[in-house]
Structures are given as structure tokens and as C-alpha cells.
Structure 1
């Protein structure tokens, strides 16, 4: 690969953008830990810790914004369309649906560990209450097609964290429509092209913040509804909150990182040295962390928006060495094989972790596996769920995900 032809980079983005697979793996483990703590040790877990681990999901969205928008940003920078939209669409569908459908069917009909109703309504801490085999044809169709998050009656049913895949698919569908028309006005890596390329990311950030504000005000004007029910329950507020609209800012942060990356890899932005990036990025990331804790009780809809600042800095620090054809200690840390493996199988592991959690809860009622709400459970429960999720995720990746991706590549 030469500086004049970055489009020929290897297709495995985690290796091309050094360390991203590792941080994806760490993010996946963070989400698994947070859900395990909330399920088995809600009283022992220090306030804000589980919520802070939700940074993992914010990182997922920001990384999608970075990686998925990257070829389109390059097209805008060059002023020349090279991205094949049909191939892009086929790759995205092959990336999400085969693995998801197989995991959902196994979780429902073999493990019988999917939610049959809204998880907030039917679920219970340290229990598999509300979980079983989904046989209702309408609920099945909604979940298999990943449209269940669009309707109050089916939101947070099935594999309840799969709502994020619905938002991802909406992002995939919208991105070409939004970015490709800008290609004709770009080109030459000029200043105009740079600001043109940043517009979609800024638009996503603005839409996300506005939608969050609407969701929070809607909740405040709905008497008697808890924030948890408003965010995840069977109601219109949750449909808005779990939609692409309300998390668009997380994707937008990643899109802005993609713009900086593209200009760096072509030798521009020389003034943004690694030293300056750390000097500016460290306080920005710290501000994001403080705002996350501050907004938890005051403005719950903006918690993950604040986390987006930290996620953006983390991604920019991680991809800067690759953009400039160098390396760094941080990249080497996140390129550790165990983390890279979890990152590679993260989609499957992420989808498996809640059915595994519910299955462990069902077994725990007969044979003690986890324990009570204490410090030992805080350590043991995430290890148990993560181990099962990684093992099943590895199998699903090798037998379903990778073959589907290989097929789409040949097509």
C-alpha cells in the first residue's frame, strides 16, 4: 500500500487500523461486565460503574461511524467515486444477518433464553423470569428481521441488546444516501473538501443531541414513568431513544475521526502531532468522563453523548499512528492476540451474552453457579458469562459469520 493509493489497504480494518480489533474486544467485555453486574450484583456494584462500562457500546457505534464512513470520506476527499454501493450493501447484510439469525434461533429454540415480552417489564434481577422459547409468529418475524425496535409492543424482546443492530442497519442504509452526493463537490484534499467531509458527521452529532433532548423532555412530561422504563420499556419514548436518531451523535463522532484520519494518511494536518493530540485529547476525554458522571442523575439521556467525547479521543489516538505509517505503545497493547480475538468475534459474543446470562440464571436456580449480591459475584459473574459468550461466539464466527463474509467478498 502506498500513500497515493490508500484504498488498496487490507479489508480487515482491525489490522489496517492497528489496535481497533483490540479495543472492540475490550468494549465487548465491558458491556458483558456491566450487564452481569446489573443482573446479579446491583447493590454491590459501585454507583456509576456499570453505567460507565456502557462506554463499550458507545465505542461500538463510534467505530462503526469511523470504519463504515471511511471509504465514502475518501471518495469525497478525492472528488471521485470508487465505492461500490451494491458491494457495500451486500457486505453489510452479510456481516449482520447470518450470525444474528443463527444465534437468535439457537437462543430461542435450543436454549429457550430469549425474552418473550419487554425485558424491563418481565425481567427480574438474578433470574430468567420472562425468558423462554419465542413462538408468536409476529414477534418472531419482527425479531428475525430486526424491526422489533421500531414498535413499542416488541421493543426489548428476543435478544434484548439486539436493538443496537437495528440502529446499525439504519446507519448503513442512510450513509450512502447522505455522503455520495457530496463527492462531486469534493476533490484535491483542499480545505473546502475537508469541511465538506465534516458536514455529515456534524449533522449526525446535531441530530443525536436534538433527539436526546426531545426524548428527555418527553419523559419529564410523562408522570409516573421511571427513566429505565422510558429508555427501554414498551413505549414511544424508548422507540425514539433506541433509534438511530437518538444515538446519531455517537456515529457522528466516529465519522469526524474518519475525516481526520483520511487527511492524516495523505500527509496533511502535520500540525496535529502526537504530542499535541495527547495534550488536547487528554482534557477532552476527562471532560467527557466528568460529564458522564454528572449527567447520570440529572440528564440521563445525555450520558452516552458525554461518553462520545471520550470515545472519539480514544479512537483518534489509536488510529493516528496507522494514518502516519508508524506505530505506538497503545497500538501494540490493543493488538494483543487475546483482545484481538475477542474483537474479531465481538458481534457474536455480544449477541450471545444475554442468552448465556439468562441460561446461567435458570441453572443457578437449581445448581448454585453465581452466588449472592457481593464482591465475589462481581468478579465471578462476568467471567462466567464472558467465557460462555466467547466460546459460543468463536464457533458462530467460524461457522457462520466468516463464511458469510467470505461469500459476500467473492460476490
Structure 2
């Protein structure tokens, strides 16, 4: 496969730009997932019950992360890919530096009590986690750091993205055939591996659609599509009311969440219902793309808020917050420091900021390829 052609100046400028609102949105997405896990409202009639049902569906913060990853990886790397060991080495080194050190540290800390208690199978489960393989097994997807299953999906996208870029340069009009092909491959894996009944390895179509890259690929490709429009200068603030994209994106997101509430039925969450899978994996990304288009092109109060200094700080530390808001560290804070959910939330943010500056950022800089100049987004 040929090497990539040099980027046009406008595309190069777009690829290297720092986009503060998209850093701030990371914090919002992480807090949505936190509210999904720790719903402050009780079930029942009235406004409180409605808010409880609404926040149950705040797992939609995960699609925000997936669309954002698709956008940023395509924005930074599309057109630079080269089928050489040196390019792959730099690319993978930067991806590992971005997410792996904190994940390895916190995952090992999570398994430490089980090791000390000589719990059986601990080392095997730890290996499944630190290699991201646990995300392919329904029986183990919530082991270790429970929310860490999403990192298996992210890593699959990181490995696939350069291949996707190569295919895209050959057949740019067939962008949306790629996620359909990945979905077909996911179905084949369920049909081939599911009958083995081996710890839930691609154990069902529902698992594949909700918890693997093959089922969630549309979210990443939605971000890639937005990045391609942005790089080519095709995004412009629409004529008409100010903030139209932003308002339309927020409206679609709210409508999708309300629809998830409506289709939940006997399922724990709306995304697990058959119609909810389509809403979560297809309709939500469309709303997120519209919202991101607004953040990129419209001068609104929301963009100003997300670009503010506090949200930049919280956005940069949001990855650590995401890893610690649910699991062992959260449990330690609850058991030994404070039983107050508000107090735990504040302390988790303080700890996340401290770990970002003292551990994550220094290790990121140490491990990154020396010639890389990727923005902090």
C-alpha cells in the first residue's frame, strides 16, 4: 500500500489545532457516566422518579467519548499513515503513552487486595485486564476496573484506524461501508466463537453490539466523518439562529435519551432493548456529531463554558476521573474517608487532578515518540 501524500496546509493546520471545547466536553462525558453509576435520585413517581430514569441512561457519555476518539484520531493522523515499521512504532507508542500507564497502575492497584488474599485466578484475570482481552469475554467485561471495558473498544479502534485510513484513501466514497463490514465480522465472530461457550467469548449478538468495537464502530466513524468535513473546510456555522448546530445537537441527544427511557421496558437500561441498541449506536452519534459541529463552528455560551479554565483542568484529568470514579478507589473513599456522595465526588476530582499532573502527564511525555507533536486533545 502506498505511503500517504503530504497534507495540504489547511488540513495540516486543522490537524495540529488545539480545540479547547473538546477538552471540556471530556469532563461532561465522564460526569454523565458517573451519574449513571451513582444515581442521586430514587425510583418512584413525580419529578424525582423521572430524573432517576433519565440519569439511568447517562451511559450515553460513553458514545461521546467514542465519537470524540474517532474525530481526534482521524483529525491528527489521517493522511500521515505510512506502511512502515517506523510509522507504526510512533503511532502505537503515542497511543500507549496516552492511556496505558494510568490504566496499568490503577488496574494493578485494583487487583492488589485479591493477590494479598490469595484469591484464585487473580493473576489470569489481571492479565486479561492489562492486555485488554477481558473486553471480548462477557463473563469478564466488568472485572478489574468495571468501566474499563470501554478501553478494549478504544484500543481496537486505535489498531484499526490506520487500516481504515488506507481503505478510505483508496475508496473515499465507501466510508460507511467499513462499519457495516466490521459489524458483519462481529456477527461472524459470534456465530463462530459463541457456540464454544468459553467464558462468554463473543457469547451473544447483544454482547457484541453493546460491548465490542465491531458493534460500536458507527460511533467512531461518525467522528471520522466529522473530522474529514472539518479538515476539508466544509464545516461552516449555518445561516439562521445563532447556535443552530449546538441547539440541534443537544436536542437530538435529549430526544435520544428520552427515547431510551421509553423503550427500556423490562431491561435494566434502554440501550439493552433491541430498539435501544439502534438508538444508542446510531441515533446518538448523529446528535453528538451535530453538537461537536456546533462547538467547532459556533461562538456559543456552551463553547465558552467548555473552553473555560476550570473545564480545561477537569477535562485534562477526566481520563483519570473516569478510571477511579467507580471501583476500588471509590470504595476506599466511601469506607475510610467520607460517606457523602458530594464529598466523594470532590475528592475524586482532586485525586484525578493530582494523578494527572504527578503521574499521567509525566509518563505520557516520557513514553511518547520524541518527534511527535500531537495536541493535548
**TM-score under structure 2 length normalisation:** 0.74
What CA deviation, in whole Å up to 9, does each residue of 1:48-80 have, x standing for no partner?
32233212111111100110111344569xxxx
Q: Secondary structure at the match of 2:142?
A: coil
Partner of 2:9: 4
Shift in alpha-carbon separation, 1:284–1:150, aligned structure 2, 3 A: closer
What CA deviation, in whole Å up to 9, does each residue of 1:361-398 have, x standing for no partner?
545xxx9x54xxxxxxxxx52x3332232222223222
Hey, what's the Cα distance between the residues in 2 that align with 1:210 and 1:277?
Answer: 34
Partner of 1:160: 146
Contact 1:202–1:256 (CA under 8 A) maintained in structure 2:
no
Matched, 1:348 2:309: no
Contact 2:321–2:352 (CA under 8 A) maintained in structure 1:
yes
Partner of 2:269: none
Contact 1:278–1:317 (CA under 8 A) maintained in structure 2:
yes
1:394 corresponds, among 335, 353, 366, to: 353
What is the CA-CA distance between 1:256 and the residue it aligns to?
1.6
What CA deviation, in whole Å up to 9, does each residue of 1:268-287 have, x standing for no partner?
46695575646865665555
What is the CA-CA distance between 1:310 and the residue it aligns to?
2.2
Structure 1 unpaired stretches of 5+: 117-130, 186-195, 216-231, 322-326, 371-379
Contact 2:139–2:200 (CA under 8 A) maintained in structure 1:
no
Shift in alpha-carbon separation, 1:334–1:233, aligned structure 2, 3 A: farther
Shift in alpha-carbon separation, 1:199–1:47, aligned structure 2, 3 A: farther
Contact 2:248–2:291 (CA under 8 A) maintained in structure 1:
no
Shift in alpha-carbon separation, 1:181–1:245, aligned structure 2, 3 A: closer
Partner of 1:261: 230
Q: Secondary structure at the match of 1:391?
A: helix
Hey, what's the Cα distance between the residues in 2 that align with 1:105 and 1:65?
Answer: 28
Partner of 1:295: 263
Hey, what's the Cα distance between the residues in 2 that align with 1:384 and 1:294?
Answer: 33
What is the CA-CA distance between 1:132 and the residue it aligns to?
10
What is the CA-CA distance between 1:404 and the residue it aligns to?
2.5
Hey, what's the Cα distance between the residues in 2 that align with 1:295 and 1:74?
Answer: 41
What is the CA-CA distance between 1:290 and the residue it aligns to?
4.4
Q: Secondary structure at the match of 1:21?
A: helix
Partner of 1:169: 155
Matched, 1:68 2:73: yes
What is the CA-CA distance between 1:249 and the residue it aligns to?
1.7
What is the CA-CA distance between 1:347 and the residue it aligns to?
1.2
Matched ranges for 1:249-398 at <5 A: 249-264=218-233, 268=234, 272-273=238-239, 275=241, 277=245, 281=249, 284-285=252-253, 287-297=255-265, 298-299=273-274, 300-305=276-281, 306-321=283-298, 327-354=299-326, 355-363=328-336, 369-370=338-339, 381=341, 383-398=342-357
Contact 1:134–1:158 (CA under 8 A) maintained in structure 2:
no
Q: Secondary structure at the match of 1:236?
A: coil
What is the CA-CA distance between 1:351 and the residue it aligns to?
0.5
Shift in alpha-carbon separation, 1:301–1:209, aligned structure 2, 3 A: farther
Contact 1:62–1:250 (CA under 8 A) maintained in structure 2:
yes
**TM-score under structure 1 length normalisation:** 0.68
Hey, what's the Cα distance between the residues in 1 that align with 2:29 and 2:248?
Answer: 23
Hey, what's the Cα distance between the residues in 1 that align with 2:110 and 2:179?
Answer: 34
Hey, what's the Cα distance between the residues in 2 that align with 1:67 and 1:94?
Answer: 16
Shift in alpha-carbon separation, 1:279–1:32, aligned structure 2, 3 A: closer
